[in-house]
Structure 1
Amino acid sequence: MHDTTLLHLIEDDIAPTQELLDLLQSEAVALHGRDMALLETILARKQSLIVLLEQHGRRRAQLLAELGLPADRDGVQALAAQSSQGEVLMQRLDVLSGLLDACQQVNESNGRIIQVQQHITSNQVRILMGGESPSLYDSRGGTSPMARRRALSQV
């Protein structure tokens, strides 16, 4: 009975995890295009999916703990070894694990995109405000010093 419950919990997570992966991939496109309206929509849906997946994960961990098994892959394998549905259980767990790994990779990539954009924006603001000048050359080939620092409203 516990094996069937665990299988249903895993099955119930596959569709939301696939949706999360799709959202993360859409987020990458929106980040490149700096589409803030789309990013807000994606973030709201992402948050609700993450909450749902966390709840399901806690229920799976609780179920395994009630059986005295660790709340990880080894615990599922131990339960699967005693179950007639063990092979299906492990196959579906592999599908879910693959989706979660893909989500993590895309999320890390999105994080790098955000860091690059923050760096670019920071440099642009610094230049606009008259901070340290980049290596700009004047007509004589010398580096041109930037004028005094300015407020962003005066640029």
Structure 2
Amino acid sequence: MHDTTLLQMMTDDMVPARRLLELLQAESVVLHGRDMLEMEHVLAQKHALVILLEQHGRKRSQVLSSIGLPANREGLRLLAHQSDVGDQLLAAGDELSALIAECQSLNEQNGSLIQLQQVNTAHQLRILNGGDTPTLYDARGSTAGRAKPRPLSQA
């Protein structure tokens, strides 16, 4: 009974995991376009799916723990060896794990893109505020004094 329950839980989680992968791909496109309204929409959906998948992951771990098996791939393998649906159970576990790993990888890429954009934005603001003025030479060949920071309205 635990094996079929676990198989059904993993099969059910394939849909939100695929949807999360789609949202992460959409997030990447939105980040490149810097569409903040769309980003808010994507982030809200992404957050809900992550919470759902975390809750379901805990439930799957509890099922394995309740029958005295470790809550990992080895526990799943041990259960599969005792089950009529063992092959399906392992295949579903591997597929779900691959989807989650792909989501994590894409999420890390999106995080790196966000950090890069933050650095670029901070650099642009320093330029606009006059805090990142290069040292220039005047007509006599000596370095000109640093410009005073100016208000953003005068940049």
Q: Does 1:19 align with 2:13?
A: no
Q: CA deviation at 1:134?
A: 4.1
Superposition map of 1:72-111 within 5 A: 72-111=72-111
Q: 1:100 to 1:143 in 2, by over 3 A?
A: farther
User: Which residue identity is paired with 1:119?
Assistant: V
Q: CA deviation at 1:72?
A: 0.8
Output the CA distance in 1 between the equivalents of 2:21 and 2:136: 43
Q: 1:82 to 1:130 in 2, by over 3 A?
A: same
User: Which residue identity is paired with 1:7?
Assistant: L
User: Which residue identity is paired with 1:44?
Assistant: A
**Are the counterparts in 2 of residues 3 and 79 from structure 1 also a CA contact under 8 Å?**
yes
The more displaced of 101-110 and 143-152 is 143-152
TM-score of the pair, normalised by structure 1: 0.91
> Identical aligned pairs, as a percentage?
54
TM-score of the pair, normalised by structure 2: 0.91
Report the counterpart of residue 150 of structure 1 in structure 2. 150
Superposition map of 1:34-113 within 5 A: 34-113=34-113
Q: How many residues are paired up?
A: 155
Output the CA distance in 1 between the equivalents of 2:37 and 2:139: 43
Q: CA deviation at 1:15?
A: 0.6
Q: CA deviation at 1:151?
A: 3.1
Q: Pairwise CA RMSD of aligned residues? A: 2.0
Q: C-alpha deviations, 1:7-52, integer Å up to 9, x for none? A: 0110111010000000000000000000101100000000110111
Q: CA deviation at 1:3?
A: 0.2
**Are the counterparts in 2 of residues 137 and 144 from structure 1 also a CA contact under 8 Å?**
yes
Unpaired stretches in structure 1, ≥5 consecutive residues: none
**Are the counterparts in 1 of residues 135 and 146 from structure 2 also a CA contact under 8 Å?**
no
**Are the counterparts in 2 of residues 79 and 86 from structure 1 also a CA contact under 8 Å?**
yes
Unpaired stretches in structure 2, ≥5 consecutive residues: none
Q: C-alpha deviations, 1:36-69, integer Å up to 9, x for none? A: 0110000000011011101101110111110111
Q: 1:29 to 1:84 in 2, by over 3 A?
A: same
**Are the counterparts in 2 of residues 133 and 145 from structure 1 also a CA contact under 8 Å?**
no
Q: Secondary structure at the match of 1:147?
A: coil
Q: CA deviation at 1:101?
A: 1.0
